[in-house]
Structure 1
Amino acid sequence: MARTLVIIRHAKAEHVEGRDDHGRALAGQGRRDAPVIGRWLSSQDVSVQVAVVSSARRTQETYRLLAAELPGAPDPVVTDDVYYASAGDLLEIVRALPPEATSAAIVGHNPGIGMLANALDDGASAVEGTERMRAGFPTSSVAVFSVDGDWATIDPGGARLVGYTVARG
């Protein structure tokens, strides 16, 4: 059974001197970009059954704004495990997704989230923008993968990139 995995880097966050990183909110640009992510996913007929979101304020705001544009978007599973997670940590989160879910989204931070997208990519995709994904995974990046088999058995190189964009509003 093919599954869909959506990997999202949070939208642009504010930089306020003295504010802790975890509490940073979205900047104006980020508040405009986040809904574009949801509209793009909807235009691609991508649905999400499970959403795992970093506990950082900017990722939660990104998900809330994109979910408002994505029909049927679930309430997020908010966890500290995605904050500062490496690609390996994030891969373990993917492997632990509910086996009955056929689609899931992970909303997190670089470098881990971009490294995960690149690690999962089987390299066989001709999706426009793939080189941009490989070059840095900027804020508001969204990579959609098709995964054959169970979440628990996914390995690096085990997913086919079927969509990619950097959502800008």
Structure 2
Amino acid sequence: MSRELWLLRHGKAEHLNGDEDYDRVLKKRGKRDATRIGQWLNENALRPDYVISSPAIRAITTTKIVCDVIGIHHQDIKQEKRLYDEGLFRVKSVLADCPSTFKQVLMVGHNPEFEKLITYLVNDNDLFEIEKLLPTGALARLQLPDDWTRLEQGCAKLLWITHPKTLFEED
């Protein structure tokens, strides 16, 4: 195993208030948490080779904030509609399409797909004991086999999950 997948759930977003779910914007907390995750990545010298984001407003905004902090240009973000509300199979198809030259891939998107992906790839019964595996703004780092075209159940190792609220003192 030498490739890594970093799954970042979008930051905390506003409630619907009559708008389409796709168009929900980040709350102040969501923006702050995305900045914290970016700062934490910098502090730990973690920089992805490739960034993929759901095009939903709350996800792409989270992605852009993190990329601003870690020094990745917005034009280098690949927006992928299969990451928005299309299920586990479609998210796995996005991974299968990732060029194998990229060793650390940051994917920004949504639950329930990301939690389903983690539990599928890691296949660790201890994950089910966590009340909320990937709350808003959380970042999971997984180690996967080199070939992402055939990701089988239980093939990954969960290295850690980082929650923005645990990174810094409240402002």
TM-score band by shorter chain is 0.7 to 0.9
RMSD: 2.4
- Contact preservation (8 Å) 1:50, 1:76: yes
Distance in 1, matches of 2:133 and 2:147, equals: 28
Which residue identity does 1:167 align to in structure 2? P
Q: What residue in structure 2 maps to residue 53 of structure 1?
A: 53
Q: What residue in structure 2 maps to residue 84 of structure 1?
A: 85
Distance in 1, matches of 2:55 and 2:139, equals: 19
Task: After the TM superposition, list the runs of 4 or more consecutive aligned residues in structure 1 that deviate by more than 6 angstroms.
Answer: none
Q: Following TM superposition, by how much is the alpha carbon of 1:103 offset from its aligned partner in structure 2, in angstroms?
A: 1.2
SS in 1 for 2:11: coil
- Contact preservation (8 Å) 2:100, 2:146: no
Q: Does 1:156 align with 2:153?
A: yes
Q: Following TM superposition, by how much is the alpha carbon of 1:87 offset from its aligned partner in structure 2, in angstroms?
A: 1.8
Which residue identity does 1:29 align to in structure 2? R
- Contact preservation (8 Å) 2:10, 2:108: yes
> For each residue in 1:68-109, what CA deviation from the matched residue of structure 2 results, as whole angstroms up to 9, or x when unmatched?
222457721112211102122111111111111111111111
Structure 1 regions of 5+ residues with no counterpart?
A: none
Q: Following TM superposition, by how much is the alpha carbon of 1:122 offset from its aligned partner in structure 2, in angstroms?
A: 4.7
- What is the aligned-residue identity percentage? 27
Q: What residue in structure 2 maps to residue 146 of structure 1?
A: 143
Count of aligned positions: 165
Q: Following TM superposition, by how much is the alpha carbon of 1:151 offset from its aligned partner in structure 2, in angstroms?
A: 1.9
SS in 1 for 2:157: strand
Which residue identity does 2:117 align to in structure 1? L
Q: Cα–Cα, structure 1 residues 124 and 41, in superposed 2: closer, same or farther, change >3 Å?
A: farther
Structure 2 regions of 5+ residues with no counterpart?
A: none
Give the alignment's TM-score, normalised by structure 1. 0.86
- Contact preservation (8 Å) 1:124, 1:160: no
Distance in 1, matches of 2:41 and 2:86, equals: 24
Q: Cα–Cα, structure 1 residues 96 and 139, in superposed 2: closer, same or farther, change >3 Å?
A: same
Give the alignment's TM-score, normalised by structure 2. 0.85
Specify which structure has the higher proportion of helix. Answer: 2
